[in-house]
Amino acid sequence: MSTTTQENKDKNFFRLAMGLSVVVFIAVVVLNRKVLPTPAELPSWTFVLPLINAIINGTCSLLLVMSLYFIKKKDIQSHKTINLAAFILSSLFLVSYVLFHWLAPETHYPEAAPMRSLYFFILITHIILAAIVLPLVLISFYRGIQMQVALHKKIVRFAYPIWLYVTITGVIVYFMISPYYPI
């Protein structure tokens, strides 16, 4: 493949990743503002979604650590397989997250709770970094699949710790807010 063809392919994927990231961000904002109509009666499984999301996030955290282990051992095939699993799980997480925030009423952390400031610090950093990491993950995944190792490493240097932080804090946020879900 010529250099120009590869550059065009890379530019197109970059545009796709950024466009998808913007669409996801807008969808999350719109759903959190409860602009779209919701069903009159919540499906019974609605409040299981946050637990599923926490399990997915926790699993992704473990997969990301395993991915680092395998790449340090130069086991590229296991590294790719683990990253593919983490990518698929994160995609499922995103669908489940959007579905929950569309269906469920907003849950508020109690004003009198002693951990409120810590909760909001973790939640805000989690949200900001989750928005930032999506295009980084998409691009690093693309670079890895294309075997553009040097470019993959450059992006992963930033994407990996952010993605790991987001998955770990996703579990922490769940444990902190779950006692207040209106179940």
3-state secondary structure 26-44: HHHHHHHCCCCCCCCCCCC
The domain ranges of the chain are 44-104+113-180
Instruction: Report pLDDT for 33.
Output: 66
Instruction: Report pLDDT for 88.
Output: 94
Say how many Å lie between the first and final Cα of the chain, rounded. Answer: 56
* pLDDT digits 0-9 by tens, 120-169: 999 999 999 998 999 999 999 999 988 999 999 999 999 999 999 999 99
Q: Is residue 1 predicted with pLDDT exceeding 70?
A: no
Separation between Cα atoms, residue 37 and residue 136, nearest integer Å: 32
Higher pLDDT, 52 or 104: 52
Instruction: Please spell the DSSP secondary structure of 109-141, one letter per residue.
Output: --TT-TTHHHHHHHHHHHHHHHHHHHHHHHHHH
The pTM is what?
0.87
* pLDDT digits 0-9 by tens, 51-96: 999 999 999 999 999 999 999 999 999 999 999 999 999 999 999 9
SS3 25: helix
